Chains A and B, each alone.
Chain A
């Protein structure tokens, strides 16, 4: 196999996608942290197109672990240099209060913010963040991460990104598929690849610099790896038959994927540098949807070798296979949690498809979602939530659910049907 390189046209990278995701919380934890994010004071002339306080409170609320104190109940709107009267914040039941300001300066802009512990009556931290005017959303996500980490002890996921596929259908054979890259809150969506043929199975490289996906060039399916910074595209395979479901190895050097070039869908490991292929399965049933474990030793995959789709685990070094799921007649599309201790997958019960999680030690299964046709679970890099695809009567939607199933957030798209979400790793 030879490796080819293409360049995706530069305009594709720059093209903003129309559909933005809107947050809609359906359920949260029982005792969320109450936080007041005071509107950031603008200290120079002219307005900014991002409301940082709104961005931060929406981020925190979307985690399910926080609830915002509404702006119109605040008794005062202090800036970062002002004195904070803690009793005013206790009066409106705020446990923590965030204050901030932003101003344009000669280098771009400067954001200041501080986090106050209302009951402890102290400043937890205060920071100055320089930036450029197009980095306001990045700064908002960074502040959200700092607050989240300080108050929960977990690393925040607000600066991570999402990949998903949108489809606009005019008729069966007239559709537009787009691979979209966005902020973790759905903001700043950008089309990074577009086709009139299906795009499937986007997957992140472990360092977040590249993405693999299946698409068609002409009428032929192939697996491609695209470098996000440059738009460079590397063809990994376009054999006759299936070329699908890629997943990166934890070292980023290999892809496990499904090929049917030998007549039947089998798993192969492709070395991205040499192009060498190693066949991993040999069974007349369907073997597909492989996902590499975080320690690199195992590959979780879907197989119909037992008659119905079930999940199986392969030991990468000796290619031995063990069945993992026994509960229900349809279990597929599995992925590991970042700690490698659990898997999430699509599980059918009572004719409905839901996302479930299984602890690999105890084998206990918990069903996390209750919408319909739920699929494509992808776990956030801090392991607290996953994003998945679901649908209403008309179109595909994305949803978030916490790993205990108690927090559920819908991310309805404005116009297009969306599916196949993939949550990025941490970038730092």
Chain B
């Protein structure tokens, strides 16, 4: 019995030893495999890092674009009975367009206006055409149509009450308002 017991004990020890050895081997092989996978890991980490940096960069750019958009003019003027954009409006509109294209959550409202000359309902249509001219330009520069809302007030909301070309030229306008 005792021999048997001893044998059993030896056996158990042996099994334990084997198990221990196996365990060691498992550990060893785990370490080996971890070294093998670290290349992918690095790639992923690098990708994550790059993404993070890109995001940071984009945020910085968006921030910059936002700042230049906020510094840009928001009033765009037109000639009598015209809805063509003037050359000097384009730099400011570009600044707004770049920001809006970079930040799809940003939204603008375009309010079209006319001067008091001419009839009111016609001027309402003219104000809309002016707002649409600005909207079209922004869309061509990459802004989504859904980021733009436009409305015409015709001649009902003049900026200036002067009854001369000085006043009228201020009133023939589109106002760009961030929402």
Contacts and interface: CB of A to CB of B under 8 A. Distances in A.
Sort chain A's interface into a size bin: 35 or more
A346 B163 CA distance: 19
Sort chain B's interface into a size bin: 20 to 34
A286 B129 CA distance: 9
B156 A288 contact: no
Contacts of B105: none
Interface in A155-177: 167, 172-173, 175, 177
A333 B159 CA distance: 24
Interface stretch (B9-17, B21-29, B90-98, B147-155): B147-155
B117 A353 contact: yes
Contacts of A332: 118-119, 122
A244 B125 contact: yes
B158 A172 contact: yes
A201 B119 CA distance: 11
A375 B116 CA distance: 10
Contacts of A289: 119, 121-122
B138 interface: no
Give the secondary structure class of A's interface: strand
A173 to B, nearest CB: 7
A235 interface: no
Nearest to A245: B121
B153 A353 contact: no
Contacts of A260: 125, 128
Contacts of B126: 286
A391 B120 CA distance: 14
B57 to A, nearest CB: 37
A221 interface: yes
Given A221-B151, A308-B81, A302 B122 contact: yes
A242 interface: yes
Contacts of B119: 289, 302, 309, 332-333, 346, 375-376
A265 B157 contact: no
Interface string A340-369: 000000100000010000000000000000
B124 interface: yes
A242 B125 contact: yes
Given A200-B154, A219-B151, A265-B128, A286 B122 contact: yes
B121 A200 contact: yes
A78 interface: no
Contact of A242 (B116, B118, B128): B128
Given A172-B159, A219-B151, A242 B124 contact: yes
Interface of A: 167, 172-173, 175, 177, 198, 200-201, 214, 219-221, 241-242, 244-245, 258, 260, 263, 265, 286, 288-289, 302, 304, 308-309, 330, 332-333, 346, 353, 373, 375-376, 391, 393, 419-420
8 contacts: A201-B120, A201-B121, A242-B152, A244-B124, A289-B122, A302-B122, A304-B81, A333-B121
